[in-house]
Amino acid sequence: MSEIIVQVDNLSKSFGCLEVIRDVSFTVGRGEVLGIIGPSGSGKSTMLRCITQLETVSGGSISICGKQMVKDGTYTDKKSLHQIGLQVGLVFQNFNLFPHFSVLRNITEAQIHVLGRSKIQAQERARELLFKMGLSEKESAYPCELSGGQQQRVSIARALALDPQVLFFDEPTSALDPELTGEILKVIRELAQEHMTMVVVTHEMAFARDLSDRIIFMDDGLIVEQGRATDVINNPQQERTRAFLSRFQA
């Protein structure tokens, strides 16, 4: 068994009387790609937001890289939370780039202010990542001058610039038209080949099956089924999973 990077135990999250995550438990090993699928409103994105500290949990425990972030609903101290947060990257569905910053500055800003890198070091790392993303010629451009696919590649580069141990993707292609979806899926595939630990929430079923080591199917805040990606997609065991996947053509 590989080193556990993410461990979630009995996670729950409520907004007032509405319980959106109910007793969810899973692990992600180093170098593993975990796909998360399920209908809209099933709790997938909220779960990612809880793990990345954008939402507070209502109950349960989360550990990242062996460090306890929250135990039985109680968070560790602020300094530890900050250190744990540095191990985690999140790529949003709507890019979340700073519109008044150039591409280069979007990728260097957090490196300088969060990691304490010099401007030269930060720019060197940013240019490495822009080359990797096929965007070297766009470093002086502003987000409004880029296609949606290019903006999403910049946001992936920005997340990678902080050298996280695990990268979370929240429906990274949902804001893109089909022509641009392929270029983002290609980038994520290349990261998987480099053994980047990733958790990918997606509506792209073929992509989830072909990229993921394991898949979790969520519905109504619960994990209904989980297992090897090909097993869950091609041969689901639960009736609810079968119903959800019935429109999917391999």
Residue 126 sits at φ, ψ, to 5 deg, of: -60, -40
pLDDT of 249 reads 57
First-last CA distance in the chain: 30
* C-alpha to C-alpha distance for 178 and 164, rounded to whole angstroms: 29
* C-alpha to C-alpha distance for 55 and 227, rounded to whole angstroms: 27
Q: What is the pLDDT along the chain (250 residues), one digit of tens a residue?
A: 579 999 999 999 999 999 999 999 999 999 999 999 999 999 999 999 999 999 999 999 999 999 999 999 999 999 999 999 999 999 988 888 999 999 999 999 999 999 999 999 999 999 999 999 999 999 999 999 999 999 999 999 999 999 999 999 998 888 788 878 888 888 999 999 999 999 999 988 988 998 999 999 999 999 999 999 999 999 999 999 999 999 775 5
Residue 218 sits at φ, ψ, to 5 deg, of: -110, 145
* C-alpha to C-alpha distance for 3 and 30, rounded to whole angstroms: 5
